[in-house]
Amino acid sequence: MAQGSTPRRALLRHPAQIVVLAFLTATAVGTALLWLPFSSEGPGSATFVEALFTATSALCVTGLVVVDTGEHWTTTGHVVILALAQIGGFGIMSAASLLGLFAFRRLGLRSRLVTATETRSIGLGDVRSVLLGVVRVSLVIEAVTAVVLVSRLALHYEQPFPQALWEGVFLAVSAFNNAGFVLRATSMMDFVADPWMSLAVAFAAILGGLGFPVLLELRRHLHRPRMWSLHTKLTLATTSAIYALGTVLLTAQEWTNPATLGALTRPARLLAGFFMASATRSSGFNSLDTAEMTTGSWMVMDVMMFIGGGSASTAGGIKVTTFALLLMVIVAELRGENHVSVFSRRVPERVHRQALTVALLSVAAVVLGTVVLSELTHHTTDRVLFEVISAFCTVGLSTGITGELTEAGQLLLVVLMLAGRLGPITLGTALALRERRRLYEHPEGRPIIG
């Protein structure tokens, strides 16, 4: 009996393994479904790489495609893609919250009580309420977004109601889950000057990218900012700053570009600039032709994609809290301060090390992926770098080279999407679970820095 229970205990001690196994299993099932003949248009079935790439992109809520989503896949295929995106978005949020609870229980009672008081969002182990909260938040935001989109498509664009209903629901689910899949080959370019369509999709993606802990806390204490936790304050402040700066930089870069903003009216330029800034964070939709944007805009988007969205959200990247904390570490060091304080709270040094580990390993993955993909394609480095960051940070934007890559290059992007989706969560949880106090200290040494 004791021997039979050992593997179970070992598995529960490392809950990140469960998430990895679940994602790999779901990817295999999604690939098999999309590989079947009834999922693709025309005679025969999709190739294995097409099915694998699309299933991985949907489950990792990335949005990169190697075939036209609307034309290549049947309605059945669209349902499979939408289901994978919903599972990926909901699963990653609930998994992140559950893994947080697993790590939470490893702390002592006093630490648990202090942390619960600080966060004001996650209790001492009420997993059921966490999961139900994720479901409610997801469905409510998706439903409201779908109502706006369906109404606009049916009334303004005069689409038949069944078509408007399907496209609106598909787009709403894809937006909140930051999946980036659209039934139109031009993504959101048909709605570049339409504030109803653009803003509905952008705000759904923004909310999905904030993260469940933040959404739950805002629902409880929306009008009482003093009760917000450090995580919520840091996420909202950093996200707002990145959106504002990104909108300004992208709009300025593309203002006179005749292939993007230059052909639009001034209000439409501002709308498109904001939409692209929001999409770059992780949603992957584009209302402008990304391939026609300037190299400077690609660089700005590279940085924004790498930062990503909030922790325990549907967004990818290293997460805004990681970026903000590293920025605060730099500021504190430049000021000669001994501790890092944010919003009148001191951040423990072990959290600094965790943030630095996540960021540097992500940089290493992007650099390695760019080097390998550069050897597998003839495209320029700026395009390859953009593609690698988009895949690893599960964004889904592309300069148009994804479908032109060899199968080896596309398989590399599959690996990057899986690593980018699962890596930060499993790594962050592993670091939290491995925390332990050293019983001895080595003599101090000071190498020369700089």
| pLDDT reading at 31 higher than 70 | yes
pLDDT of residue 229: 86
More confident residue, 92 or 386: 386
Tens of pLDDT, residue by residue over 131-178, are 667 778 888 999 999 999 999 999 999 999 999 999 999 999 999 999
| pLDDT reading at 109 higher than 50 | no
Asked whether 38 and 5 are in contact (CB, 8 A), the reply is no
Nearest to 185 by CA among 85, 278, 71: 71
Q: In angstroms, rounded to a whole number, what is the distance separating the alpha carbons of residues 383 and 370? A: 10
| pLDDT reading at 114 higher than 50 | no
- Has residue 1 been placed in a domain? no
Nearest to 205 by CA among 175, 231, 235: 175
Q: In angstroms, rounded to a whole number, what is the distance separating the alpha carbons of residues 11 and 156? A: 53
Residue 413 tokens read as 């992007």
Q: What percent of the chain has pLDDT over 90?
A: 58
Name the residue range of residue 412's domain.
7-433
Mean pLDDT score, 50-60: 95
| pLDDT reading at 126 higher than 80 | no
207 CA to centre of own chain: 12
Asked whether 321 and 231 are in contact (CB, 8 A), the reply is yes
- Has residue 410 been placed in a domain? yes
- Has residue 328 been placed in a domain? yes
Q: At which residue do the structure tokens 């320029």 appear?
A: 380
pLDDT of residue 424: 64
pLDDT of residue 172: 96
Mean pLDDT score, 416-435: 70
Of 14-23, 119-128, 141-150, 220-229, which one has max mean pLDDT?
Answer: 141-150
* SS3 (DSSP) at 346: strand
pLDDT of residue 343: 85
Q: In angstroms, rounded to a whole number, what is the distance separating the alpha carbons of residues 302 and 386? A: 6
pLDDT of residue 29: 93
Asked whether 275 and 189 are in contact (CB, 8 A), the reply is no
Tens of pLDDT, residue by residue over 214-246, are 888 888 888 888 888 888 999 999 999 999 999
Asked whether 53 and 414 are in contact (CB, 8 A), the reply is yes
pLDDT of residue 443: 80
- Has residue 2 been placed in a domain? no
18 CA to centre of own chain: 20
Asked whether 216 and 137 are in contact (CB, 8 A), the reply is yes
Which of 38-47, 227-236, 290-299, 328-337 comes out lowest in average pLDDT? Answer: 38-47
Cα separations in angstroms, 305 against 38, 160, 212, 309, 446: 35, 36, 20, 9, 35
Asked whether 306 and 196 are in contact (CB, 8 A), the reply is no
Domain count across the chain: 1
Residue type, 231: H
Residue 241 tokens read as 């700053």
- Has residue 438 been placed in a domain? no
| pLDDT reading at 2 higher than 70 | no
pTM of the model: 0.87
- Has residue 246 been placed in a domain? yes
pLDDT of residue 103: 54
* DSSP conformational letter for 342: E
More confident residue, 429 or 281: 281
| Average pLDDT, rounded, for the chain | 84
Tens of pLDDT, residue by residue over 186-201, are 999 999 999 999 999 9
Q: Enumerate the H helices of 255-336 as residue ranges.
A: 266-278, 295-307, 320-335
Neighbours of 97 (CB within 10 A): 23
- Has residue 444 been placed in a domain? no
Which of 121-130, 206-215, 248-257, 360-369 comes out lowest in average pLDDT? Answer: 121-130
Q: In angstroms, rounded to a whole number, what is the distance separating the alpha carbons of residues 420 and 436? A: 27
pLDDT of residue 22: 77
pLDDT of residue 95: 55
- Has residue 131 been placed in a domain? yes
Q: At which residue do the structure tokens 């059921």 appear?
A: 128
Residues 149-155: contacts with CB within 8 Å, 24+ apart? 149/197, 149/200, 149/201, 152/194, 152/196, 152/197, 152/200, 153/197
* DSSP conformational letter for 42: S
* SS3 (DSSP) at 347: strand
Tens of pLDDT, residue by residue over 297-315, are 999 999 999 999 888 777 8
Q: In angstroms, rounded to a whole number, what is the distance separating the alpha carbons of residues 245 and 250? A: 9
Tens of pLDDT, residue by residue over 332-367, are 989 888 888 888 888 888 888 888 988 999 999 999
